[in-house]
Structure 1
Amino acid sequence: MLPLTKRSKSLLAAVLLAALAGCGAADDGAEPRGGAKKEAAARPAVPKEAVPDGLPGMPPLLDPKDVYAADRPGRLSPVVKDFPSRVYVPNTNSNTVSVIDPTTYKVIETIPVGIQPQHVVPSWDLKTLWVNNNRGHTLTPIDPATGVAGKPVEVHDPYNLYFTPDGKYAVVMASLDRELVFRDPHTMDRKKTVPVSCYGVNHADFSADGRYFVVSCEFSGELLKVDTAKMEVIGQQRLPFQGAMPQDVKISPDGKTFYIADMMAHGMWVLDGEKFTTPRLMPTGKGAHGLYVSRDSKEMYIPNRGEGSISVFDFGQKKLTKKWWLPDGGSPDMGGVSADGKVLWLSGRYDSEVYAIDTKTGKQLARIPVGGGPHGLAVYPQPGRYSLGHTGVFR
């Protein structure tokens, strides 16, 4: 074999770089028309060792062993670093969003929105907060830099909202329509509708490599497994509990296990997402509803709406280690963790209030009156490079 000259070495390096870029921009057959293919091709190639056989175009994990590595305290994206820290609370029964200043624990503004707002959802690019007006069939955009609401966008039955890890699509959980609707993440134009045979699609989370996501079906007690690129249901199962009512879904830091809160089974299901075999139930408390991971990826907070408590799950020990009770009771529901990781914010669904809880001691720091039926509140901004939706699932 002849020795390589300086020029031939440069040519070989260029060929190898081109080949890698081609792999990163592979066409998965799900591209919308127009400029989206050019945009996808312009994204940097995803290192194969970071996301093995993962979703093309998905930013690689900072740590292959921890999907939440980008969510550490203070690690704010340049996009959000100058946004004021706020807690946005959708009041389902009042058709408003209460805005709380977390430093004073006071409501500083009340924003009128559409009918039955369910969740406040950060966009994939972190620039917009979308209020899901479920029965008003609209999404209200809020600019988190100014707190000003924009013109509502018509979207039918938006109970909840997610974004694919590559940023290509928004996924509307159309609960009563019994559909998963893939839309443009900016304009919300419909791209593909996926009818489902279960009732009440509501929450989801994505696999570590982004290839699939697991969806809970609240009213029929079922789970779906959906191929992200193909936008197709590839698995479905009924939970082994009479009257099961699955809610929030969250993946473990190591990406090996999905957890699904169940408000009627009073615990969370532990699921192998790859095998999608029958999960086992871990009892937590009456009305288990939300699932929120600590900033160090060591624990997960599980609000039990029916008994006014929060269970704490240790990922390393794979068991519940603590239980915090709200003084004077309450109905802790949905929420999120503060940017510094010190406060867990939860809505009080049946009590028209919001709770601020110390994540070290479990002590209630504040109890703040808001509108009627507060639900999926968003703490914003939070650390992370991009949002997968819901009340703030960041990678």
Structure 2
Amino acid sequence: MTKLTRKFSKLFLGATIRVATLALFLAVFGAATAHAQTQAYVTNGYDNSVTVIDTSTNTVTATIPVGSGPAGIAVTPNGARAYVANFGGTDVSVIDTASNTVITTVPLAATPLGVAVTPNGAFAYVADGDVFGGEVSVIDTSTNTVVATIPVGANPRGIAITPNGARAYVVNGVDNTVSVIDTATGTVIATVPVGNSPQDVTVSPDGAFAYVTNPFDNTLSVIDTATNTVTATPSVGSFPIDIDITPNGASGYVSIAGSNAVAVLATASNTVVTTIPVGSNPYGVAVTPDGASVYVVNNSDATVSVISTATNTVTATIPTGLVGSGPFYIAFAVRTQGPTDEDQCKNGGWQTFTNPKFKNQGECVSFVNHMKHSQ
């Protein structure tokens, strides 16, 4: 067993994350939007690669060599670039998704864990550090250089950015806190206490709440982003790792590593409404941009489960041998906010949306009506 494999295994076996310094994460406008909506990107921590899945056929279309021990991954809104945090080293691999090759590697000062891209695609925020401290490195995606570093808590892990790009929420695993960054000033404006050894975070599509997984408490911390206070702490199951929210904001899907399942959270009541069996040791979770499916990475058996959000059942499984060894996290292109009112579709307004993209005003209006009726 390699040194890197031992580092990852301690986390999977539930050893003390505080001492082991282990954590993993789980998200430029332009062309290729349709491409971005159908491609899922999976980091494979044990064989230093990223697997590309075509979600229209649930087939693997490429395997891309990256840096050492890839963990967190985020894709730009247009799907043109994927940013991979290499946990086994101190750098970020930048993938050109058109050619499925690494076009550059961005060096960092410490081990990177989580990564998120701003909704406008201009910056990638990377959580890097250890048990003694940490920071967020801000990468300018036009030059792929670090343009700022922001001190946060110890052992930063998951990171998420609000839909308007104004705030970044960073999980600090050793401090049991979440740092709130004002992206305009590059400063921490609040520190929010959460549960035991928090792992990951996502923000609701309307930006109103941030959801944090607390594996050692078997809970979520629900943060009101207006006040940056925890307003609910629902129990979700044994060892929750990752969470993603449907585009309409109605449901959250939480990987429950301790029971090989995904919990479905009704966000209106912050209660678990059902639990869906998946593969062994589920970690990364990502909802497709259209909200129809949820992709779940099962680390121990190296499979990916596909869940229908309409029925909350597994409709497909990408089997062992197609994705890489030790898969951790999965990402689609960063969601940008679609229309919320039919008036936004009128007078050519439908042409301004890129994720989702519409062929005509009618499609735009149908999207608005679907979103309203789904809530």
Deviation, structure 1 residue 278: 4.5
- Find the partner of 2:169 among 203, 214, 218: 214
Give me the CA root mean square deviation. Answer: 2.8
Deviation, structure 1 residue 386: 8.0
Deviations 1:299-346 (A, max 9, x none): 1211112211111122334432222122xx522211312344332111
Deviations 1:41-67 (A, max 9, x none): xxxxxxxxxxxxxxxxxxxxxxxxxxx
Structure number with bigger Rg: 1
- Find the partner of 1:135 among 83, 88, 101: 88
Partner SS, residue 175 of structure 1: strand
Deviations 1:143-168 (A, max 9, x none): 22333332433334332222345555
Matched, 1:368 2:319: yes
User: 1:192/1:296 Cα in 2 relative to 1: closer, same or farther (>3 Å)?
Assistant: closer
Which has more helix, going by share of residues?
2
- Find the partner of 1:159 among 105, 113, 118: 113
Deviates more, 1:221-230 or 1:136-145: 136-145
Matched, 1:80 2:30: no
In structure 1, the partner of 2:124 is: 170
For 1:285-296, list aligned pairs within 5 A.
285-296=237-248
Partner SS, residue 328 of structure 2: coil
User: 1:236/1:295 Cα in 2 relative to 1: closer, same or farther (>3 Å)?
Assistant: closer
Say if 2:36 and 2:332, in contact at 8 Å, map to a contact too: no
For 1:107-256, list aligned pairs within 5 A.
107-123=60-76, 126-156=79-109, 157-165=111-119, 167-176=121-130, 178-196=134-152, 198-207=153-162, 209-239=164-194, 241=195, 244-256=196-208
CA–CA separation in structure 1 for the residues paired with 2:333 and 2:177: 31
Matched, 1:314 2:266: yes
Write the letter of the residue equivalent to 2:137.
V
In structure 2, the partner of 1:299 is: 251
Matched, 1:268 2:220: yes
Say if 2:77 and 2:334, in contact at 8 Å, map to a contact too: no
User: 1:77/1:267 Cα in 2 relative to 1: closer, same or farther (>3 Å)?
Assistant: farther
In structure 1, the partner of 2:10 is: none
In structure 2, the partner of 1:51 is: none
User: 1:212/1:108 Cα in 2 relative to 1: closer, same or farther (>3 Å)?
Assistant: closer
Query: TM-score if structure 2 supplies the norm length?
Result: 0.72
Say if 1:77 and 1:383, in contact at 8 Å, map to a contact too: no
Partner SS, residue 351 of structure 1: coil
Partner SS, residue 81 of structure 1: helix
Partner SS, residue 159 of structure 1: strand
User: 1:81/1:300 Cα in 2 relative to 1: closer, same or farther (>3 Å)?
Assistant: same
User: 1:190/1:140 Cα in 2 relative to 1: closer, same or farther (>3 Å)?
Assistant: closer
For 1:58-69, list aligned pairs within 5 A.
none
In structure 1, the partner of 2:16 is: none
Write the letter of the residue equivalent to 1:213.
A
Partner SS, residue 98 of structure 2: coil
Deviation, structure 1 residue 228: 1.6
Say if 1:259 and 1:271, in contact at 8 Å, map to a contact too: yes
Deviation, structure 1 residue 208: 5.4
> Which sections of structure 2, spanning at least 5 residues, go unmatched?
1-28, 338-352, 356-375
Higher relative contact order (CA 8 A, sep 6+): 1
Partner SS, residue 283 of structure 1: coil
Deviation, structure 1 residue 138: 2.7
Say if 2:76 and 2:334, in contact at 8 Å, map to a contact too: no
Matched, 1:334 2:284: yes
User: 1:108/1:127 Cα in 2 relative to 1: closer, same or farther (>3 Å)?
Assistant: closer
User: 1:104/1:165 Cα in 2 relative to 1: closer, same or farther (>3 Å)?
Assistant: closer
CA–CA separation in structure 1 for the residues paired with 2:53 and 2:118: 29
Deviation, structure 1 residue 367: 4.0
Deviations 1:199-221 (A, max 9, x none): 22122333455433322112331
User: 1:317/1:144 Cα in 2 relative to 1: closer, same or farther (>3 Å)?
Assistant: same
In structure 2, the partner of 1:27 is: none
Partner SS, residue 297 of structure 1: coil
Which has more strand, going by share of residues?
2
Aligned-residue sequence identity (percent) comes to 24
Matched residue count: 306
CA–CA separation in structure 1 for the residues paired with 2:140 and 2:335: 23
Deviation, structure 1 residue 382: 6.7
> Which sections of structure 1, spanning at least 5 residues, go unmatched?
1-75, 388-395
Say if 2:119 and 2:334, in contact at 8 Å, map to a contact too: no
Matched, 1:283 2:235: yes
For 1:46-65, list aligned pairs within 5 A.
none
Partner SS, residue 199 of structure 2: strand
CA–CA separation in structure 1 for the residues paired with 2:239 and 2:193: 19
Say if 1:222 and 1:236, in contact at 8 Å, map to a contact too: yes
CA–CA separation in structure 2 for the residues paired with 1:260 and 1:84: 25
Deviation, structure 1 residue 383: 7.0
Write the letter of the residue equivalent to 1:263.
P
